[in-house]
Structure 1
Amino acid sequence: MNVPSATETTSKTTSTGSPTATSSNSVDYNTFLQLLVAEMKNQDPTNPMDTSQYMSQFAQLSTVEQAMQTNTKLDALLSSQALSQADGLIGRTVSFTDSTGASFTGKIASVSINSDGSIATLENGTKVAIGPGLTLS
């Protein structure tokens, strides 16, 4: 049985016939099972691995996979919550003071969400980061 390295770069051919290089930096469930089967096939028959160790490895992998799925679902939930909050800001009036001390007031026309947070665009085109120091009305 040919067991690939968990982090080795492999070359695959796409449907158009052009090769693409893919890299896997994590061990998925199938790779783990392949490694486990290879370990079982190549173990010393006079001193086999304890079955509780196998079960422990399965449990650890299962726990990590569930944690990764939970993180993915939490990210989606946080994005959904941010969109809901952004929707509630559109049409509201915001007042703020910038770093130079100038005061601005305007109606929020749109809100964009990126990795740094939410940015409100006012009707006059001014962009302001949603955060402390804003007054909404």
Structure 2
Amino acid sequence: MPSVDPAASSMYTNQAYNTTRTTDATSMDKNGFLRMLTAQMSNQDPTSGQDPNQYFQTISMMTEVEQMTNVATSQTAQLSRQKDTNAQAMLGHQVSYITQDPTTGASSTATGTVASVQFDDTKGPSLTMADGKTLVDPDSVTSIQ
């Protein structure tokens, strides 16, 4: 069995990079759009030419949408890395965090020292307190000392 770098196995990968995506049956990705455009061009009547301005406008709009998608994906990944960095910065610090009683749903505040940080592909980072049993969502932390 090949050896796995422990640092690489504990890295959080944001869902923006998940290649298995669920899509709405009515939506179309950029490849589907290109196939449709190519089919439209190959099946058009050669006696009635297409307006080149309309063609370039369509290509321009598609390029803009792709660039916006790339920016959104990049921002999502950057936010994920920032959350990971913020969680790692809490290591060794005493934090106050909000807990919720599973039976009553009542909220209260607890404190503890962060002993380690775990990274999950879907949930993001989580903090383990010094007692070794308590897992805390970094988003529930209210103060760091």
Pick aligned residue for 2:129 from 122, 127, 130 = 122
| Equivalent runs, 1:52-131 vs 2, <5 Å | 52-96=53-97, 98-99=99-100, 104-112=110-118, 118-124=125-131, 125-131=133-139
Percent of aligned positions that are identical: 30
Q: What SS class does the counterpart of residue 80 from structure 1 fall into?
A: helix
Higher strand share: 1
Cα 1:79–1:132, aligned 2, differ >3 Å: closer, same or farther?
Answer: closer
Per-residue Cα deviation, 1:26-76 (whole angstroms, up to 9, x for no partner) = 3334x5444333322322233222111100110111011111111121111
Aligned partners of 2:136 and 2:44: how far apart in 1? Answer: 63
Cα 1:84–1:102, aligned 2, differ >3 Å: closer, same or farther?
Answer: closer
Higher helix share: 2
TM value normalised by structure 1? 0.64
- Higher RCO by CA contacts (8 Å cutoff, separation 6 or greater): 2
Larger Rg: 1
Q: Which structure 2 segments of 5+ residues have no match?
A: 1-22, 101-105
Q: How many residues align?
A: 114
Aligned partners of 1:135 and 1:62: how far apart in 2? Answer: 44
Cα 1:27–1:119, aligned 2, differ >3 Å: closer, same or farther?
Answer: closer
TM value normalised by structure 2? 0.61
